[in-house]
Amino acid sequence: MMPRQPTRFLCTVPIPTDCVSDLADERKRSLWIPKTFLDSGEVFLHSGGIRMHLDTCLAQIGNNKQDVTGAISTPIYHSTTYRHPRLGESTGFDYTRTKNPTRQTLEDAIATLECGVRGFAYGSGMAAIAGVLGLFGQGDHLLVSHDLYGGTYRLLEQILPRQGITTTFVNTEDLTEVAAARQENTRAIFIETPTNPTMRITDLREVIGWAKGHALITIVDNTFMTPYLQRPLTLGADVVVHSATKYLGGHNDVLAGVAVAREEELAERIYFLQNSIGATLGPQDAWLLMRGMKTLALRMERHQQNAQALAEWLDGHPLVKKVYYPGLAAHRGREVHISQAEGYGGMLSFELVSERLVEPLLRHLDLIAFAESLGGVESLITYPARQTHFDVPEEIRNSLGVTDSLLRLSVGIEHDRDLIEDLARAFEASEREIAEQEGELV
């Protein structure tokens, strides 16, 4: 595999909280505000007082050199409670829901990687999203990207309205449409870019700039890109959320969510909610997640190499009507995407020429597993209409392009030729089967 190329711009020079704890608040804040966007240069993060590339930062997660044992891997603290040295004194740890050393190592790492001030780990991606949306209350209104993850849609459509929080789903590709949907009581905008599953691109700089003008909180779900490829906080977003189950964990073996805030004040409010609601991530899972994150850079490089190869192959296949992948020259929003991200990621969707192909194709795939979720080392194929977007009404789904013949592919890190052969075989077998039963397909 090719080593990672120097990235296009120096996005920011973030310094983790522990390095700046002795600085005045004002100065601390200014350090975190994105400053320079140059034409050349590399992304540097500062962790533990050392300037390092993002890849290095990832590999070094949890390598706590101050620990008494010298263990390279951060220990799993299963303890729920902590002895107080004496009344009124605390080691900084009191109760695991409030703060746990293993979880904190993870939370610090994700905060550094996303260039925020503070990270938060939750029991799932939905718990992270629900935890952040806890910032809002009765009478508040939210603007949300319209073809977003079905679970977020369900929360916004079926549950939050009962608490008096309303949502307008808008096409965040188009700022005019976003601006038109703003109401007096709009408090925030929630963006996915690229969206799930049709990979629509939102111009983060433009939308965030507009949101700031109206004092709206901007929340970006960065699950598809990860901080390796896209760091929305450096573009001015207020909060980033992740289903860390996906690329951050990367092995389809841990369910987790994370959130990162750009500024202290909001971070404090999110922390209050995390502790009050208690949807925190357990220490074993926090440890597994850090273990996965150490290889994020390597995995993402391979994921997107493979995704590019598969997208190009699918694009030329007669049984495929349309391929959604930002790495394809014809993909709408590609230029915007690459101005705010450093790669195209490992997710693609494709629409088949006929819905009849869906069932046999899924059955004939040997290597690519038919399962929900994404972002793991193994390739997974999903049928959004029946799985991730099942809760979205059919007419809305169709208008978003999430049709009954759309499949989403999370491209793994297998050899790309093997993945293409698996798809080619399954396409052939499906076409033959349908032809035998019903005559000509196309």
Partner 1 sequence: MKENQELSFATRLLHTGNEIDRTTGASAVPIYQASTFHQEDVDQAQPYEYARSGNPTREALERTIATLEGGTRGFAFASGMAAISTALLLFSAGDHLIATDDIYGGTFRILTTVLNRLGIETTFVDVTDLENIRAAIRPNTKGLLLETPSNPLLQITDLAGAAKLAKEHGLLTIVDNTFQTPYLQRPLDHGIDVVVHSATKFLGGHSDVVAGLAVTKDQALGQRLKQLQNSFGAVLGPQDCFLLQRGIKTLKVRMDASCDGAELVARWLANRAEVAKVYYPGLAAHKGHGVHLEQSSRSGAVLSFDLGTEEQAKRLMRAVKLPLVAVSLGGVESILSYPATMSHSGMPKEERHKRGISDGLLRLSVGLEDPEDIIADLEQALQNG
List the 118-122 sheet strands across, edge first.
118-122, 257-261, 239-243, 217-221, 186-192, 141-145, 166-170
Region of 27-35, 81-89, 109-117, 211-219 interacting with partner 1 (CB under 8 A): 81-89
Q: Exposed, middle or buried by CB within 10 Å (0-12, 13-18, 19+), for 165?
A: buried
Q: For residue 290, what is the DSSP state? A: H
Which residue's CB is nearer to partner 1, number 1 or number 87?
Answer: 87
**Residue 151 binds to partner 1 (criterion: CB under 8 A):** yes
Cβ of residue 148: shortest distance to partner 1, in angstroms? 14
CB 254 to partner 1: min, Å: 6
Using the minimum distance from each CB to partner 1, give the nearer residue, 57 or 288: 288
Among 29, 46, 53, 154, binds partner 1 (CB under 8 A): 154
User: Binding partner 1 by CB under 8 A: which of 212, 386, 415, 417?
Assistant: 386
Please report whether residue 95 would count as binding partner 1 according to CB under 8 A: yes
Q: Rounded CA gap, 4 and 10, in Å?
A: 15
Q: Which is nearer to partner 1, 273 or 314 (CB)?
A: 273
Q: At what angle do helices 25-32 and 264-277 cross, to 10 degrees?
A: 90
Residue 1's Cβ-count burial label (10 Å; 0-12, 13-18, 19+) is exposed
Torsion (CA) 175, 176, 182, 186 in degrees, nearest 10: 10
Q: Which of 27, 51, 83, 214 binds partner 1 (CB under 8 A)?
A: 83
**Toward partner 1, which CB reaches closer, 128 or 204?**
128
Q: Which of residues 106-135 bind partner 1 (CB under 8 A)?
A: 122-127, 129-130, 134
Which is closer to partner 1, CB of 54 or CB of 270? 270
Coil, helix or strand at residue 314: helix
| One residue of 168, 339, 387, 398 binding partner 1 per CB under 8 A | 387
Between CA 59 and CA 73 the distance in angstroms is 11
Toward partner 1, which CB reaches closer, 118 or 246? 246
Number of residues that bind partner 1 (CB under 8 A): 68
| Phi, psi of 167, rounded to the nearest 5 degrees | -135, 140
Q: From the CB of 62, what's the least distance to partner 1, in Å?
A: 17
> What does the DSSP 8-state code read for residue 155?
I
- 75 belongs to the binding site for partner 1 (CB under 8 A): no
Angle at 74 between CA 70 and CA 76, to 5 degrees: 125
Q: Rounded to an integer, what distance in angstroms lies between the CA atom of residue 254 and that of residue 378?
A: 14
Closest by Cα among 260, 243, 221 to 14 = 260
Question: Which of 86, 329, 330, 438 is in the footprint of partner 1 by CB under 8 A?
Answer: 86
Question: Is the separation of the CB atoms in 114 and 107 below 8 Å?
Answer: no
Tokens linked to 237? 């977003």
Backbone φ, ψ for residue 349 (5° rounding): -125, 155
Indicate the residue among 96 and 230 with the shorter CB distance to partner 1. Answer: 96
* Secondary structure of 221-279 as H, E, C letters: ECCCCHHHHCCHHHHCCCEEEEECCCCCCCCCCCCCEEEEECCHHHHHHHHHHHHHHCC
Looking at residues 227 to 256 of the shown chain, list those that interact with partner 1 (rule: CB under 8 A): 245, 249, 252-256
Question: Among 276, 192, 251, which Cα is nearest to 373's?
Answer: 251
Residue 80 touching partner 1 (CB under 8 A)? yes
Q: How far is the CB of 131 from partner 1 (least distance, A)?
A: 8
Dist CA 214 CA 187 (whole Å): 9
- How many CA atoms are closer than 13 Å to the CA of 159, on its beta-carbon side? 11
Q: How far is the CB of 128 from partner 1 (least distance, A)?
A: 8
Nearest distance in Å: CB 208, partner 1: 25
Task: Tell me the closest approach of the beta carbon of residue 302 to partner 1, in angstroms.
Answer: 20
Candidate list 117, 143, 155, 188; residue touching partner 1; CB under 8 A: 155
x-or-dash pattern for partner 1, window 320-359, by CB under 8 A?
--------------------------------------xx
CA distance 69 to 71: 5
Please select the residue that binds partner 1; options are 84, 212, 214, 415, rule is CB under 8 A. 84
Q: Which tokens is 39 given?
A: 């034409």
Active site residue ranges: 97, 149, 221, 246
**Using the rule CB under 8 A, is 266 a contact of partner 1?**
no
Q: What character string, x for contact with partner 1 (CB under 8 A) and - otherwise, covers 277-316?
A: xxxxxx-xx--x----------------------------
Shortest reach from residue 159's CB to partner 1, in Å: 6
Q: Residues in the site for partner 1, rule: CB under 8 A? A: 78-84, 86-88, 94-97, 122-127, 129-130, 134, 137-138, 151, 154-155, 158-159, 162-165, 245, 249, 252-257, 272-273, 276-282, 284-285, 288, 358-359, 362-363, 369-373, 376, 380, 383, 386-387
